[in-house]
Structure 1
Amino acid sequence: MSTAELGLPVDVPSTALFTDRYELTMLQAALNSGAAHRRSVFEVFTRRLPEGRRYGVVAGTGRVLDAIENFRFDAPVLDFLEREGVVDARTLDWLSRYHFTGDVWGYPEGEVYFPGSPILRVEGSFAEAVALETVVLSILNHDSAIAAAASRMAVAAGGRPLMEMGARRTHELAAVAASRAAYVGGFRSSSNLAAGFRYGLPTIGTSAHAFTLLHDSERDAFTAQVESLGRGTTLLVDTYDVAAAVRTAVDIAGPELGSVRIDSGDLLLLAHRVRQQLDDLGAKHTKIVVTSDLDEYAIASLAAAPVDAYGVGTSLVTGSGYPTCSMVYKLVARAASDAPDAPLAPVAKKSMGGKTSVGGRKWAARRLDEDGVAEAEVVGTGPVPDSLVERQLLVPLVRGGVVTGREPLDAARSRHIEARAGLPLSATQLSRGEPVLPTEYVAGT
């Protein structure tokens, strides 16, 4: 859910300078050549998934829609472009009236994708569409990487709650976007208050080791926290001696103690010991939360441990080793002239080194086997086969420059759970492997 949907007063700056200089110099040259207003189709896709990953997760779509709405060249932006000599006076005049008036189709947020999937399709004049390239890729590459890591962690957690705690391990603005993407991928809450404010995410957090060290004793610290936050709070028990801390925690809060958190040491061994100790002390309903540089593999290793929730930071906000999805934004079709009825002709990059692309305005559908399990990602141009019409993946997001595809964030989160469940079971394996679905191309006639 966007800030506007939450009814929150927040200044929304222009996104027009979240771009590379060559987008605007291309635009200027196209205006000079007379080709700037030709109808064009750009598509976002990736040629491959990160090594060993079996599926990708679309995230950031809602943020892309916000960015398109706020892509405007106001006076300070135009003054900067003029002062730096980025573009000429004619181009500045054109930019001063910029407003995207085209159409955008895409995979809905939370959907899974594979190599070649046309994740986003932007249609409009070349000038309008090319200007959006950098900001669109910046959002989708980052957010989809975080969501993919979050999804793998959610699978490893097996239904146990996951808490995003990575704000101090990335850029302050990226941290807010990461919290949102993690929620799409399966996390339940975030420590980041800006994410809670902007996107309505549930927020969590109680205390750090500094709070314990501030007080003259661990007992004093626990007493102060329980008196302030209640018996249902989470007490951090690994500052000194875990066993002694657990005894003190239960002595102060009683069996109503909400949780204890373990942030260091052998988490598997400590979780078993703490669970036994809590049970022996009568705190059978007190939960155990573990943190400490977790990733999907560490979470999976704790599957048999009596852990109730996980807090994840660094690995999550860095995409668990893959902080980008290598998505690209390529021109795949363009009209032969400025005429409104000029037919579209497919275009494609043919260079060497694995950077070729497939031309033509594409549709995508997911074919199911006889048991209703996905068996292929089908991408094509031209008419959609009758058997796949009801399985198409792209949905309208912007029509005539007006955003039509905005939805609550919980819808994207639920969609991802459903999409992942529709994949072959091997999709959830953490071991390295090929994409779980092949991508099949169908040429139009």
Structure 2
Amino acid sequence: MPVPDEPRRIRFGVNYTPSRGWFHHWLDFDPDAVRADLDALAALGLDHVRVFPLWPLFQPNRTLIRPRAVEQLVQLADAAAERGLDVAVDGLQGHLSSFDFLPAWTRTWHRRNLFTDPEVLAGQEEYLRTLAAALADRPGFLGMTLGNEINQFADRPHPDPDRITGAQAAAWLERMLAACERGAPGRAHLHAAYDAAWYLDGHPFTPAHAARLGAMTAVHSWVFNGTAQRHGPAGVATEQHAAYLIELSKAWARDPRRPVWLQEVGAPAPHIPEDRAARFTTTTVANSLDCQEVWGITWWCAYDVSRSLADFPELEYGLGLLTEDRAVKPVGRAFAEQAAHWRDRPHRPPARTTALVVDVGDAEEAPHRSVCAPGGPVFEAWARLAAQGARPALVLAQLATDTAYLTSRGITEVCTPDEVGQ
């Protein structure tokens, strides 16, 4: 089994939800408030933030990318760098906390498919390239994520999806990633999907896209997807859901060394009760870091949403590491303790030698990927193995007898879900 040349240094960061005005702060951008927010995040010992421009505010017309908005984004990145925080930037926002933010030139009277219309594609390309180019010379700029869970616009349960095929999804991803690379060559540009990509049969964005396109794989772990409802807040499957997604991504990755970024994870109430949130944080981080090739963990989110803002789903209000008054919550202390624990420690967990077979049909389109979802045979068998103290990996059925491949991942034993006892 190949030994990594050197252990990774785990990155700990947070998705930056401003304490004042949420993402609407771009309308009244206040550098002093941003600096105060970043001071509090740096004090937790974090090393990066993920930042979210609102697409309609930055590109209100297809041929107008507002220079002042781009300047404000750069100001934010510079303020973060002054505090030792690197910056990852999402481009096409897109979708955030149940709200859609799409420019008027893609909707209603100008309705055009977000993923296939030639003019929309050209506008998106130029927007992503422009943001990347504006940040390219900033040493703390990590790279672009195309958008936040933009796959939700392509399928149910979105109330008005822009339908596409898997091939069209792949073409869109490749074209947009290339635009980011033109703007900032050599940075870590990637894309991010919510878990329909891994769990929903027929969804056009696939596990193969997630695990093979872009500089690394991003996973978003939310246990309100049926996991906590089925297994409870203290269930092994709940506390290991993030680790499961990390390992599931590895089943599709062509490169065993491909980095995986746990880009979103949080402790949503009431699925995770407030008095268990700190424990959930600690166990989720520990379990995730029992997986190889983890790039980092970025908590959702920085600050609680103010109760003065209306119409958010109830669970969205209390997800912050800090309150809107910048007071550190128990979740924030727990996450900071994990960051401090790992700051100078090498990350080199042992290989997972037992692998569970994942049979989703064709590996590229994954027509039966719901077997991997909570309640599905792969998910539940993996959870049973984990509850027994095992450290299961996952392997595609097409590779389950490939000795060279298994050896490259350190796998010595393979079993099917049917072979895992109830």
| Higher RCO, 1 vs 2 (CA within 8 Å, ≥6 residues apart) | 1
Would the TM-score normalized by the shorter structure come out above 0.5? no
Instruction: Please report the TM-score for the alignment, with normalisation by the length of structure 2.
Output: 0.31
Please state which structure has a larger fraction of its residues in strand.
1
Larger Rg: 1
